[in-house]
Amino acid sequence: MKGTSSVKLPTQVIIPVIGFIIGLVYLIIGMGDFGFWNHSTNTPTAGFFPIIIAVGLMILSVLGFIQSFRRKSVEYRLLNWYVPIGFLLFIVGVMIIGTVPAVIIFELLWCKFYEKLSWKSTIIALIFCLILVLPVFTWWLQIDFPVGLIGNLILGY
């Protein structure tokens, strides 16, 4: 199981398609909300520059789309996606139980239960992260990381 499963996706075709859609959205909003040129003052509007770029993007997307058929689909392994998935769960953890507990749980789960590292390595990684979070960022640089819903309840914010 361990991340060996993979899937082929035609992202080389999808990227220009998305590019085209982005260009179209910007073109429509730009023309609709701001227009291209302010004729009374003879100056560009807020839409001027984005509209030029949006049109350029649409043209390039068409060219890129034609080009993309000559290229192979890319193989995506599930393994690589453990990183964003794990990170998403970590973010949820931060919002619920707060940064420090989320860091501890995340490092324990990842190092000990996913990677099956030794306790020594796990603890070193964990201590390193906690040193960054608490003494360096929170106390010295005065960045207040979220304490999460539970932290808010305890601290009565």
Partner 1 sequence: MKRRFMLAITMMMAAAMVFAGGSSESGDGTFTPSRDVTWTCTSNPGGGSDIFTQEIKNAITNNGISDANIVIDYVTDGGGEVGRLNVSRTTGVRADHMLLTFNSGDLMPMCLNTDNRVENFTPLAIMAVDKQLLFAGDLSKYQSWQEVLDALAAGERIVIAGSKGDDIETYNALIKELGVTENQLAYITNDATSTAITSLLGGHVDLVLGKPAAAEQYVLAGRMKPILALSNERFPTELFKDAPTLDEFEGYDNVEVPVWRGVAAPKAMSEAAADYWSEVLRQVSETEDWQVNYIQRNGLISQYMDRHEAAEYMAQYQADYLAKIGKDA
Partner 2 sequence: MENFMWLLHGFGVVFSLENLGACLLGSILGLIVGAMPGIGSLAGVALLLPLTYKFNPTTAIIMLGALYYSNMYGGAFSAILLNIPGDSPAVLTAVDGYPMATVKKRPGQALMTANASSCIGGIIGMLILVVLGPALAEFGLKFGPAEMTVLLLVAMTSIGWLVGGNPIQGVLLSFIGILVASIGMDVQTGTPRFNFGSIYLMGGIEFIPFVIGTVGFAQLMQLMDQKDDKVNAVTDKLTIRGSMLTAHDWKRLTPPSVRAGIMGTFVGVLPGAGATAASFLAYAMQKGFKSEEPLGTGAIEGIAASESANNAAAAGSFAPLLALGIPGSGTGAVLLGGLMMWGLNPGPLLFSTDPDFAWGLIASLFISNLVALAISLGIIPVLLKILKVPVRIMIPVIMIVCFLGAYASTYSMFGVVIMLIAGVFGYIFEKNDYSTAPMLLAFVLAPLLEDNMRKAFIATAGDISEVFFASAIATVLTIILIVLCAFPIVRTILIKTGVYTPKKKG
Q: Do 50 and 30 meet the contact criterion of CB atoms below 8 Å apart?
A: yes
Report d(CA 7, CA 27) in Å as an integer: 34
Q: Which of 5, 7, 8, 49 binds partner 2 (CB under 8 A)?
A: 49
Q: Which listed range, 56-64, 70-78, 80-88, 99-107, lies at the site for partner 1 (CB under 8 A)? A: 99-107
Q: How far is the CB of 100 from partner 1 (least distance, A)?
A: 5
Q: Which of 91, 149, 153, 154 binds partner 2 (CB under 8 A)?
A: 91
Helix (H, G, I), strand (E, B) or coil at 4: coil
Q: Does 100 bind partner 1 (CB under 8 A)?
A: yes
Token look-up 């899937």 returns: 7
Cα–Cα distances in angstroms (integers) from residue 143 to residues 59, 87, 140, 146, in the given order: 44, 20, 8, 10
Binding partner of residue 147 among partner 2, partner 1, none, CB under 5 to 8 Å per kind? Answer: partner 1
Our CA dihedral for 25, 26, 27, 31, rounded to 10 degrees, sits at 110
Q: Is 142 left (phi over 0), alpha (psi -120 to 50) or beta?
A: left
Q: Among residues 128 and 154, whose Cβ is nearest to partner 2?
A: 128
Q: Which of 12, 15, 130, 137 binds partner 1 (CB under 8 A)?
A: 130
Report d(CA 58, CA 77) in Å as an integer: 30
Q: Does 93 bind partner 2 (CB under 8 A)?
A: no
Q: Does 47 bind partner 1 (CB under 8 A)?
A: no
Q: Which of 70, 84, 119, 155 binds partner 2 (CB under 8 A)?
A: 84
Positions touching partner 1 (CB under 8 A) are: 40-43, 100-101, 104, 119, 123, 126, 130, 134, 138-139, 142, 144, 147, 151, 154-155, 157
